[in-house]
Amino acid sequence: METYTGKLRKIIYRNEDFLIASLVSDQEMTIKGSIYGVEQGEELTVYGQWEHHPKFGKQLAVERWERPIPQTEEQVIAFLASPLVKGCGEKRAVQIVDHLGPNALQRITDEGEDCLLPIKGIGPQKAQKIVGSVKSTFEVQRIMAELLVYGITANMVTRLYKEYGSNTAEVVKSNPYKLTELKLIGFLKADEISKKIGISPLSGHRIDACVDFVLKEKCFNGGHCYLPEDELIQETQRILNHNTDKKVSVEEVAQSLYRLEDKKLVMEDGCVYPKYLYQYEKELARKLSEMGGSREGEAMPSIEKRVETLIKAYQMQHNIVLAEKQREAIRTLFQEQIMILTGNPGTGKTTVIRAMLDIYKQMYPAHEVALAAPTGRASRKLAEVAGHEASTIHRLIGYRAGEEPDFNESCPLPHQLIIVDEMSMVDVPLASLLMNAVRMDAKVLFVGDVDQLPSVNPGNVLKDMIQSGLPSVKLTEIFRQAQESQIITNAHRVNQGLPLLIDESKSDMYFIYQEDPERIAQLTVRSALRFRELGYDTADILILSPMKKGPIGTQNLNERLQQALNPAHQTKKEWKVKKVIFRVGDKVIQTKNDYSKDVFNGDVGMIKDVTQVTNDEGERVDVLVCDFMGKEVVYPKEELSHLQLAYAITIHKSQGGQAPIVIIPVSTSHYIMLARNLVYTGMTRAEEKLVFIGTKKAMNIAINNDKISQRNTRLAQRISVIETVEAGKVKTYLKGAIFK
């Protein structure tokens, strides 16, 4: 490890924890690393390893650093007067040193606020700020030196210090699994650190952390809301007893469940939930139960008559004849508070939504109507087809991560009708937050295709709501125009477990047969280039792969497609972030909800520029500018982890969006992901042309694999239809069956 001491000459880039700067020492150099709270002009000692940076050349990657403790009165005054110490200017610094002497910093660290309060003009609040600043400045480097030997990085120490302050080292050494609570590392890495520290394999902290890890890991990877108690105990015991002589017993794991009950988990009838998922599922079931099935009572005959009149008028005005199921759906909307509308492609969901909106507005012209979908792409598509403004569910309820939504039970949404599209994508937490924000007298229409992939996160809300007995209408008739589309007819065949039937005389669907995954990747790129030659834009072409890795995984395809569709050129600006190049003209996808930028997970855009802007501190900083459907979004370098190349994306990521051209590679090399609902979901993204490239064998495996993994939820079970008599009238509503 190299060591250098020098003054920080210039800060090139910084965020809350990370810094790139130039250091003046015996040689001019740039340094980078997790360096907390340093300022320009400070003297630092840095320890690290040399590496090559594409922009800055030879650079020292800092593993740890120290700020030399001031020794003389002048050094102490200069330190106290620096921006590092909050609540203290130069005049105050002189006062403190005059009162406490040259060892002022040591006294402040040892005695705290008490030694400052006798000084004129320093009250309790100011004293607290000064003490906090001084302690944090020197404590962090002491704690780093103490914890780095266990494999805890400087970045982790910085985050831990913000949480635990001067007790950081003691907290971590007594329970290194605290690192997992702050999501700094996972359980397995924390277990390695625990061994280095010398924590017993039978430690209650270790067992509790493993239970929490297994429960969350299994729930999120499998889309479950709970795990059976036996399965959780068995899997936890397997992980704890791997590679150790001291074995944890079943009883000790069971004891951990009871320790964590009501803190991190909830146990119910042999089911173990992460606590927050239990609360969301229970609250969602309660609200659906209270609203679902509620009817208008004696007003129904007059409403029904008015609805029938308006349906006839709508058909005449638009010169269409609605199918019986479509008319049934419209009637049901006016009979029920909660309604579910489902149907496969070509069955007229869009047509009936337009009719519902038109008729509802005529019935209730003063009512407010909201349309929403789980992603930005899905909401824009809904707005286009419905001819009405739509938003994401997050924006509708005013939800920002970690905060209470703006609209909730005590402050409900003002809308009397809410239509939610792409409901198969909605997980239990989001559905619960949405329903919590809905007023009790509102109508909610859920729209979705139950045969598509379920939500990425826990739950199977659309399917569970249908199973629970909530009012629902399924459109089944495929209209003549849709029947002419090979994409739609074959999507229905796949959904029924039937093989593809492709008419080569038509130009909307192709299957290019190829066995070798490497050749499949090459043909995928060539197909994309061919569509570009035919006049389609890069944004019109969507390549969907079941997986991220492998020759036809999204990572490899994105590299190849970028080189082919948007090659490097001296006129094109680009950034390299880790192994990924972001170049002007690239197609990208947002991977996290960002409410401040108004972009959401799944939004697809194009990189328009790599430039510089002036930040709030008046400094010029490099940024990437992306265009998302006409909206410019600016990304500084540290936020590029929220972007990925999107020439090829996973089928899961494609939900809620469509494109004129869809290309899907299919190979037995992706055997684990070959499933009917995956292929069906990918096919239904195509608007004009669909191309499969791969093997018949892989396609037939997928079509025949309808074993959709069962998700552990109790939402449907919590809801049952009952009748009560109120004031001599029968009122139908739903009530949770297993609320406690």
How does the average pLDDT of the chain come out, rounded?
Answer: 87
Residue 15 binned pLDDT confidence (cut-offs 50, 70, 90): low
Q: Does position 723 have pLDDT exceeding 60, yes or no?
A: no
Residue 725 binned pLDDT confidence (cut-offs 50, 70, 90): very low
CA distances from 468 to 441, 445, 717, 718, 721 (A): 21, 16, 7, 8, 8
Instruction: With beta carbons less than 8 A apart as the criterion, state whether 468 and 501 touch.
Output: no
Annotated binding site for ATP: 346-350
The burial class, CB within 10 Å (0-12 / 13-18 / 19+), for 242 is: exposed
**Paired sense of beta strands 580-583 and 631-636, if any:** unpaired
Which amino acid is it at 163?
E
- In the block, residue with structure tokens 């079970």: 717
Annotated binding site: 346-350
Q: Does position 159 have pLDDT exceeding 90, yes or no?
A: no
C-alpha to C-alpha distance for 524 and 560, rounded to whole angstroms = 10
Residue 724 binned pLDDT confidence (cut-offs 50, 70, 90): very low
Q: Does position 482 have pLDDT exceeding 90, yes or no?
A: no
- In the block, residue with structure tokens 């000084």: 119
Predicted confidence at residue 8, as pLDDT, reads 83
Which of the residue ranges 42-46, 50-54, 402-406 has the most confident prediction, judged by mean pLDDT? 402-406
Strand partners, 512: 693
Residue 178 has phi, psi (to 5 degrees) of -60, -25
Predicted confidence at residue 394, as pLDDT, reads 92
* Residue 532 host element (H or E): helix 517-533
DSSP 594: B
DSSP 298: G
C-alpha to C-alpha distance for 6 and 47, rounded to whole angstroms = 12
Strand partners, 574: 583
* Percentage, residues of the chain above pLDDT 90: 56
Predicted confidence at residue 298, as pLDDT, reads 41
Tokens of 315: 């058909």
Of 631, 640, 598, 543, nearest to 376 by C-alpha is 598
| Cα torsion angle, 380, 385, 391, 392, sign | negative
Q: Does position 30 have pLDDT exceeding 50, yes or no?
A: yes
Residue 562 binned pLDDT confidence (cut-offs 50, 70, 90): very high
Predicted confidence at residue 689, as pLDDT, reads 95
Of 396, 394, 390, nearest to 421 by C-alpha is 390
**Strand, helix or coil for residue 670:** helix
**Strand, helix or coil for residue 571:** coil
Instruction: With beta carbons less than 8 A apart as the criterion, state whether 486 and 506 touch.
Output: yes
DSSP 591: -
260-275 tens-digit pLDDT: 999 999 999 999 999 9
Q: Does position 430 have pLDDT exceeding 90, yes or no?
A: yes
Predicted confidence at residue 730, as pLDDT, reads 44
| pTM > 0.95 | no
Mean per-residue pLDDT for 684-688? 93
Looking at per-residue pLDDT, the higher value among 15 and 456 belongs to 456
C-alpha to C-alpha distance for 308 and 621, rounded to whole angstroms = 62
Strand partners, 621: 613
Tokens of 474: 């399924």
Predicted confidence at residue 619, as pLDDT, reads 67
Residue 444 has phi, psi (to 5 degrees) of -125, 125
Residue 37 binned pLDDT confidence (cut-offs 50, 70, 90): low
DSSP state string for 118-135: TSTT--HHHHHHHHHHHH
Tokens of 127: 């004293």
Residue 616 binned pLDDT confidence (cut-offs 50, 70, 90): low
Taking each helix axis as running N to C, give the angle between helix 124-147 and helix 104-111, from 0 to 180 degrees, rounded to the nearest 10. Answer: 90
Instruction: Give the list of residues 6+ apart from residue 105 with CB closer than 8 angstroms, or none.
Output: 69, 70, 76, 79, 134, 138
Mean per-residue pLDDT for 621-635? 88
Tokens of 566: 């948007």
Residue 728 binned pLDDT confidence (cut-offs 50, 70, 90): very low
DSSP state string for 415-436: -SEEEE--GGG--HHHHHHHHH
C-alpha to C-alpha distance for 696 and 48, rounded to whole angstroms = 54
Tokens of 603: 């939004």
Instruction: With beta carbons less than 8 A apart as the criterion, state whether 187 and 210 touch.
Output: yes
442-477 tens-digit pLDDT: 999 999 999 998 998 999 999 999 999 899 999 988
Mean per-residue pLDDT for 17-38? 72
Q: Does position 731 have pLDDT exceeding 60, yes or no?
A: no
Predicted confidence at residue 162, as pLDDT, reads 82
**Strand, helix or coil for residue 44:** strand
DSSP 638: G
Which amino acid is it at 264?
K
Looking at per-residue pLDDT, the higher value among 341 and 657 belongs to 341
Instruction: With beta carbons less than 8 A apart as the criterion, state whether 500 and 494 touch.
Output: yes
Mean per-residue pLDDT for 419-425? 95
Q: Does position 238 have pLDDT exceeding 60, yes or no?
A: yes
Mean per-residue pLDDT for 660-666? 96
Q: Does position 229 have pLDDT exceeding 80, yes or no?
A: yes
DSSP 724: E
DSSP state string for 251-279: HHHHHHHHHHBTTTEEEETTEEEEHHHHH
Predicted confidence at residue 295, as pLDDT, reads 53
Q: Does position 639 have pLDDT exceeding 70, yes or no?
A: yes
Q: Does position 740 have pLDDT exceeding 90, yes or no?
A: no
**Strand, helix or coil for residue 336:** coil
* b/e sequence 351-390, b meaning 16+ C-beta within 10 Å: bbbbbbbbbbeeeeeeeebbbbbbbbbbbbbbbeebebeb
Instruction: Give the list of residues 6+ apart from residue 357 with CB closer than 8 angstroms, or none.
Output: 369, 386, 387, 388, 419
Predicted confidence at residue 194, as pLDDT, reads 93
Instruction: With beta carbons less than 8 A apart as the criterion, state whether 703 and 677 touch.
Output: no
Instruction: Give the list of residues 6+ apart from residue 644 with CB closer than 8 angstroms, or none.
Output: 558, 580, 588, 589, 591
C-alpha to C-alpha distance for 465 and 446, rounded to whole angstroms = 10
Total Cβ atoms within 10 A of residue 209? 26
Predicted confidence at residue 139, as pLDDT, reads 75
Tokens of 48: 């690290």
C-alpha to C-alpha distance for 309 and 525, rounded to whole angstroms = 54
